[in-house]
Amino acid sequence: MTDTSIAPPATGTRTFDYGSDEALARVKRRYQAEGRFKLYGLLAVLFAGAFVFVLLADIVRKGMPAFFEHRVVMTLDLDASLIDPTGRREVDALRNGDYNKIVMDAWRANFPEVTQRAERRRLEALVSSGAADDLRGAILRDPSLIGKKLRFPVLLSDDADLHFKGLSTGMSAVAGNGALDVQVNGREVTLIGSGQPFATILADVKAGLLRDADRANAELARLPASQQGGQNVALDAKRAELTARVADLKRRAGDAGGAEMIDFAAMPSRIVRAEGAFIQLREIGPASAKGFLLVAPQRAITRLDAWTVTTFATPESNRKASDADIAWLESLNARGVIEKAFATRFFTSGDSREPELAGIRGALIGSALTLLVTLIVCLPLGVGAAVYLEEFAPKNRLTDILEVNINNLAAVPSIVFGLLGLAMFLNFFGLPRSAPLVGGLVLALLVLPTIIIASRAALSAVPPSIKEAALGVGASHQQAIFHHVLPLAMPGIMTGTIIGMAHALGETAPLLMIGMVAFIVDIPQAVTDPGTVLPVQIYLWSDLPEIAFQAKTAGAILVLLAFLFIMNGAAILLRRRFERRW
Amino acid sequence: MSLASPMVQEPASVSEPDVAAKVAARSVNVYYGEKHALKDVSVDIPARAVTAFIGPSGCGKSTFLRCINRMNDTIPICRVTGDITIDAKDIYDPRLDVVLLRARVGMVFQKPNPFPKSIYENVAYGPRLHGMARNKTELDEIVVGSLKRASLFEEVKDRLNDQGTGLSGGQQQRLCIARAIAVSPEVILMDEPCSALDPIATAKIEELIDELRTNFTIVIVTHSMQQAARVSQRTAFFHLGSLVEEGSTEQIFTNPKDKRTQDYITGRFG
Ligand SMILES: Nc1ncnc2c1ncn2[C@@H]1O[C@H](COP(=O)(O)OP(=O)(O)O)[C@@H](O)[C@H]1O
Ligand SMILES: [Mg+2]
């Protein structure tokens, strides 16, 4: 009532000095607290940012090699008798031509000195088995090439490719000093210098001996002490052997002039290069060395004035590419026939056991087909359910329970949906294993709650006044919703759908359950063909021992991330552009 | 203080009950769940006149208004009893199609709510829905005619394809009125149509209401007694869910019979 007189508040009677020291100190503390809080926030953001940056940088660094491949450009002699002996140019005959022989003949011609069978097999292993297929493809596209000579890029194997990507061994070259006299006996080479051209290398080797001695000593120290009464023959023998070895190593290390054998299991390899020749050093003295001719010189040599020593830092037995492999590749590189090119193959071929041939096409198509199924199932079902629940369903216990369970469903671990899919779609309905159809259905289960929740949120964000306006001019409930509410909710629904799809694209676990984890070379043509998806492909590759697959793994991750970024970007764009605020 | 009486510039010109009631309500009760929001309301609303509902906030004006086009049907917890007839036909008859009823009884809301579509589409939506135009020319005619009758055409004729939501508040409200009259309703319900508008826009709407009453039966809810006095011929005063008093606007503002009406219009509560 108006006549109630209001008593002044208790504090109103006291004066409060906002300028007092105490008050000022309180203000200062408040500012400090605020500053601290801002600092913590900033640190948290920086920390998260740095984390993301490091992660991305690492994946990019590891993944970039996957997008490039190395090839050797050679002139191939497209001998008609090998490709098309009948000469009728029938596609079937062309398909069965001996392209491998054409490629290998040209390849071996680069190194005529390689005659021994085991060595030849190593040499041939440097060319990818896909090279012949490439050539077959080229001939099938243009049969008129038959009988001609063709400059053709021949794909190298993964090990060769890794070498050029710097993943086999570190290499360093120093110029040799002084002229060398060369005696060649078959592939055996003796190099004799006028001064002591190999002294530094020898010193290195001797230093290695000392390290070996130390290691042997340490091993000796680790052996259990000999027991008082009982004697252990084996142990004593071992001890004696180690002691002798240490003594021997120390003696050899001390003898600066003594020649040493290179231990390829423990030491870097040293290669003398001159006149196109690659000589692997095997026994080194200060003034002379014995070696093995990995690659023959362009002309017979008896004396070398200019030569270099190349060191392959990783000991030969610790890497996949042998000294000979590297010598062959480097020799070709020096001849200028190695080319680095963008690996379109990575996007155009399916999975393969050969790392250099493996691509993500199969996984990409598999993902696309899977997501297509998911979308076709999810969008109408999700939006329909959302419209019904939001606009038509009576509000009662049943719909309450439904609503709670839809929210619960969104929180169910995805592997459970995989098990459900296995039990239902595969075992009960008997749908094909590993098929994008089943994968799509399982992911639909996973994404459906997300879409329903997002769609309901979008629908309820449309102000009721719009619906009332439509009802007011005589639209039916359904017309009001389908003409006005739903179109206005569409950007929100699309945003939710895209985010749901991005979620599905990155999902792995449930697909493992329904067998999309198989090794599948063929690219799926239909939703019932066996296939795999991008994240599962990544999972598969990450498990493989070949180093080249590590790059493929990171490369596939990059592609997946790119798609996720694009999808999420599209969602944000949609939201920015079309979602209106009332 | 008596601010109401001087505001009645023109006395109610339409004769009173000699015209048959367009809308007649008898013993209408409305419940929102347990809440008894409207208590035993009986009132006649004459044709081709403006009837104003006044009363303090929460007294049930909107509730009653929304009974007349059955907009309360959309509120699940809302229950309506009693009879409401338009042209002596029961509008709560289960055989009656509520959608057609709403076409006959248009509504303008408190906050302008044009569709986020073009001005043209806003007005054309209703006629298209009911198949009122056989071709584009006829539809154009309806749209232009409606905009003209809503005194909006001159302002928007060059930008019929612009977004309706891009207009000013007053223009938006007139667009909503055009949208309502485009389906040729007999009754137009307006729920505080000017409460979100500035005085100039309000004046325009009031002027428009005055013009429209030659063709339509208009029911307007307003919290402004001056507005009721300016635009209406009849006034009904609601209080706590009951209809307290109803009569010609002049009588209500100059000579209220009920004490509560008097208190309200003299500003003693509300
Ligand atoms: N949708 C609804 N649900 C529950 N109660 C409502 C609803 N709409 C109105 N009411 C109640 O009914 C009473 C009358 O409301 P209303 O008709 O909007 O009043 P007015 O328009 O006169 O301000 C108020 O007490 C209000 O709280
Ligand atoms: Mg109201």
A577 close contact with B: CB closer than 8 A: no
Which of B111, B114, B183 is facing A474, going by the closest CB pair? Answer: B183
Mapped onto helix, strand or coil, the DSSP state of residue A579 is coil
Which pLDDT value is given to residue A203? 87
Which tens digits make up the pLDDT trace of A255-296?
A: 877 888 888 888 888 999 988 899 999 998 888 899 999 998
**Lowest mean per-residue pLDDT among A81-95, A405-419, B200-214, B243-257:** A81-95
> Is the confidence at residue A222, as pLDDT, over 90?
no
Q: What is the DSSP string of A396-459?
A: SHHHHHHHHHHHHHTTS-HHHHHHHHIIIIIIIS-PPTT-HHHHHHHHHHHHHHHHHHHHHHHH
With a CB cutoff of 8 Å and minimum separation 6, the contacts of A258 are A252, A285
Contact B116 A488 (CB under 8 A): yes
Mapped onto helix, strand or coil, the DSSP state of residue A18 is coil
> Is the confidence at residue A381, as pLDDT, over 80?
yes
Q: Which of B121, B129, B176, B191 is the mutation pick for testing A, counting most A CBs within 10 A?
A: B129
Cα–Cα dist B252/A468, whole Å: 32
Cα–Cα dist A184/A71, whole Å: 32
Element (H, E) at A144: none
Most ligand 1 atoms within 8 A of CB, residue of B29, B63, B65, B242 to mutate: B63
Nearest-Cα distance to chain B for A485, in Å, is: 10
Nearest-Cα distance to chain B for A339, in Å, is: 59
> Is the confidence at residue A91, as pLDDT, over 90?
no
Dig out the tokens for A515 from the structure: 């067998």
Task: For residue A472, list chain B residues with Cβ-Cβ distance below 8 A.
Answer: 69, 71, 102, 106-109, 180
- Considering every ligand atom shown, identify the ligand nearest to the alpha carbon of residue B34 and give its number: 1
**Using a 6 Å cutoff on CB, does residue B240 contact ligand 1?**
no
Find residues 204-263 of chain B whose CB sits inside 8 Å of chain A.
Answer: none
Q: What percent of chain A has pLDDT over 90?
A: 50
Q: Taking residues B138-151, what's their average pLDDT?
A: 93
Burial class (CB in 10 A: 0-12, 13-18, 19+), A216: buried
Contact B102 A472 (CB under 8 A): yes
**Using a 6 Å cutoff on CB, does residue B239 contact ligand 1?**
no
Q: How many other C-beta atoms can be found within 10 angstroms of the C-beta atom of residue A2?
A: 3
> Is the confidence at residue B4, as pLDDT, over 80?
no
Cα–Cα dist B93/B97, whole Å: 9
Are A382 and A455 in contact, with CB atoms under 8 Å apart? yes
- Considering every ligand atom shown, identify the ligand nearest to the alpha carbon of residue A468 and give its number: 1
Q: Which of B73, B96, B97, B99 is the mutation pick for testing A, counting most A CBs within 10 A?
A: B99
> Is the confidence at residue A481, as pLDDT, over 90?
yes
Mapped onto helix, strand or coil, the DSSP state of residue A20 is coil
Q: Taking residues A162-171, what's their average pLDDT?
A: 88
Element (H, E) at A186: none
Q: Which of A1, A392, A473 is the mutation pick for testing B, counting most B CBs within 10 A?
A: A473
At A93, the pLDDT band (50, 70, 90 cuts) reads confident
Task: For residue B76, list chain A residues with Cβ-Cβ distance below 8 A.
Answer: 394-395
> Is the confidence at residue A498, as pLDDT, over 80?
yes
Task: For residue B100, list chain A residues with Cβ-Cβ distance below 8 A.
Answer: 474
Nearest-CA residue for atom 4 of ligand 1:
B32
**Lowest mean per-residue pLDDT among A512-521, B79-88, B121-130:** A512-521
**Using a 6 Å cutoff on CB, does residue B62 contact ligand 1?**
yes
**Averaged confidence pLDDT in chain A:** 88
Which of B76, B100, B176 is facing A474, going by the closest CB pair? Answer: B100
> Is the confidence at residue A358, as pLDDT, over 70?
yes
**Using a 6 Å cutoff on CB, does residue B75 contact ligand 1?**
yes
**Using a 6 Å cutoff on CB, does residue B32 contact ligand 1?**
yes
At B16, the pLDDT band (50, 70, 90 cuts) reads very low
Q: Taking residues A198-204, what's their average pLDDT?
A: 85
Residue of B nearest to A393 (CA): B76
At A145, the pLDDT band (50, 70, 90 cuts) reads confident
Contact B183 A483 (CB under 8 A): no
A463 close contact with B: CB closer than 8 A: yes
Cα–Cα dist A551/A307, whole Å: 35
- Considering every ligand atom shown, identify the ligand nearest to the alpha carbon of residue B33 and give its number: 1
Dig out the tokens for A8 from the structure: 């002044």
Are B169 and B204 in contact, with CB atoms under 8 Å apart? no
Give, as one character, the DSSP assignment of residue A285. -
Give, as one character, the DSSP assignment of residue A299. S
Cα–Cα dist A161/A155, whole Å: 9
Contact A474 B115 (CB under 8 A): no
Alpha helices in A125-227 (DSSP H): 130-141, 158-164, 199-222
Which of B76, B100, B180 is facing A472, going by the closest CB pair? Answer: B180
Nearest-Cα distance to chain A for B109, in Å, is: 8
* Among candidate residues A259, A255, A258, A304, the one with its CA nearest the CA of residue A279: A304
Cα–Cα dist A384/A161, whole Å: 53
**Using a 6 Å cutoff on CB, does residue B6 contact ligand 1?**
no
The residue length of chain A stands at 582
Question: Given the structure tokens 């229950």, which residue do they identify?
Answer: B79
Nearest-Cα distance to chain A for B103, in Å, is: 4
**Using a 6 Å cutoff on CB, does residue B57 contact ligand 1?**
yes
> Is the confidence at residue B12, as pLDDT, over 80?
no
**Lowest mean per-residue pLDDT among A8-17, A73-82, B5-14:** B5-14
Mapped onto helix, strand or coil, the DSSP state of residue A565 is helix
With a CB cutoff of 8 Å and minimum separation 6, the contacts of A223 are A235, A238, A239, A242
End-to-end CA distance of chain A: 39
B115 close contact with A: CB closer than 8 A: yes
Which pLDDT value is given to residue A458? 93
Q: How far is CA A181 from the centre of its chain?
A: 48
> Is the confidence at residue B3, as pLDDT, over 50?
no
Atom of ligand 1 nearest to the CA of B30: 12
Residue type, A305: D
A579 close contact with B: CB closer than 8 A: no
What are the structural domains, with CATH classification, of chain A?
68-164 (no CATH), 176-316 (no CATH), 358-578 (1.10.3720.10)
Residue of B nearest to A581 (CA): B116
Q: How many other C-beta atoms can be found within 10 angstroms of the C-beta atom of residue A159?
A: 24
Element (H, E) at B217: strand B217-221
A469 close contact with B: CB closer than 8 A: yes
**Using a 6 Å cutoff on CB, does residue B59 contact ligand 1?**
yes
Contact A394 B115 (CB under 8 A): no
With a CB cutoff of 8 Å and minimum separation 6, the contacts of A371 are A440, A443, A501, A504, A505
Separation of CA B193 and ligand 2 centre (Å): 10
Which pLDDT value is given to residue B1? 38
Dig out the tokens for A334 from the structure: 């020096």
Which tens digits make up the pLDDT trace of B50-95?
A: 999 999 999 999 999 999 999 998 888 999 999 999 998 999 998 9
Phi/psi for B100 (5° steps) reads -70, -35
A477 close contact with B: CB closer than 8 A: yes
Cα–Cα dist A327/A335, whole Å: 12
For chains A and B, what is the number of CB pairs under 8 angstroms? 65
Are A243 and A155 in contact, with CB atoms under 8 Å apart? no
Which pLDDT value is given to residue A15? 77
With a CB cutoff of 8 Å and minimum separation 6, the contacts of B94 are none
More confident residue, A146 or A6: A146
Alpha helices in chain B (DSSP H): 4-7, 61-68, 98-104, 119-129, 136-149, 153-156, 169-181, 199-212, 225-231, 249-254, 259-265
Q: Are strands A303-304 and A180-185 parallel, antiparallel or unpaired?
A: antiparallel
Q: How far is CA A135 from CA A79, A123, A347, A348, B101, in A?
A: 13, 19, 19, 16, 78
* Among candidate residues A334, A342, A352, A515, the one with its CA nearest the CA of residue A421: A515
Which pLDDT value is given to residue A301? 84
Dig out the tokens for A312 from the structure: 């392959």
Which pLDDT value is given to residue B269? 66
Task: For residue A400, list chain B residues with Cβ-Cβ distance below 8 A.
Answer: none
